[in-house]
């Protein structure tokens, strides 16, 4: 594993578990086995490292939701939570921690949320055979809500949202 890949993986794990603010450069360099000089050489600064982490997380998450139905979307969310942990959306957590004022992070969050919203619209259209912007928004809200409720309810939150999405999707087909 090259230095950039290793550093991104270590940083993602630390930021996800401890938060952006609580994860200092010393903690990052120790966990990655790098000097602070090497870290800065490879990433520039902590905000740039977080943006890199978010880009990698976006890539993995979006690949995991390459599905053709709303039901499969919620199954993918449950699989993601089982594999990654039910800690809520890292994008929204880091955006809240930074107040949305760190340009590199704010841009990464906005890009992910735009792509996520678009992808949900595509999934809804594939499932129904036509666009349904209202259902797409409802599914988006259920996905986001399930992601955060799963922090304290675990996978049951995703299952409940999946059930609600099934009812909404069936109504949209009727």
Output the domain CATH number for residue 135.
1.10.357.10
Give the range of the structural domain holding residue 63, as residue numbers without chain letter. Answer: 3-173
Given a cut of 80, whether residue 1 has pLDDT beyond it is no
* Structure letter (DSSP) for residue 100: T
Say how many domains are in the chain: 1
Q: Over the stretch 90-140, which tens digit does the pLDDT of each residue have?
A: 999 999 999 999 999 999 999 999 999 999 999 999 999 999 999 999 999
| Per-residue pLDDT tens digits for 28-39 | 989 988 888 888
**b vs e for 65-88, b when ≥16 Cβ sit within 10 Å of the residue's Cβ?**
bebeebbbbbbbbbebbeeeebeb
Q: What is the C-alpha to C-alpha distance for residues 2 and 5, in angstroms, rounded to an integer?
A: 5
């Amino acid at each position: 594993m090259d230095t950039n890949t290793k550093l991104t993986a270590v940083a993602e794990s630390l930021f996800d578990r401890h938060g952006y603010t609580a994860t200092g450069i010393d903690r990052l360099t120790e966990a990655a086995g790098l000097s602070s000089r090497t870290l800065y050489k490879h990433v520039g600064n902590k905000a740039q490292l977080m943006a890199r982490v978010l880009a990698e997380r976006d890539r993995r998450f979006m690949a995991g939701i390459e599905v053709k139905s709303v039901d499969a979307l919620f199954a993918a969310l449950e699989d993601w939570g089982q594999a990654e942990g039910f800690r809520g959306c890292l994008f929204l957590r880091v955006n809240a921690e930074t107040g949305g004022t760190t340009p590199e992070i704010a841009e990464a969050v906005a890009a992910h949320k735009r792509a996520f919203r678009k992808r949900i619209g595509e999934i809804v259209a594939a499932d129904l055979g036509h666009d349904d912007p209202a259902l797409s928004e409802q599914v988006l809200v259920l996905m986001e809500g399930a992601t955060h409720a799963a922090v304290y309810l675990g996978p049951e939150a995703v299952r409940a949202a999946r059930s609600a999405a099934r009812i909404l999707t069936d109504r949209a087909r009727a």
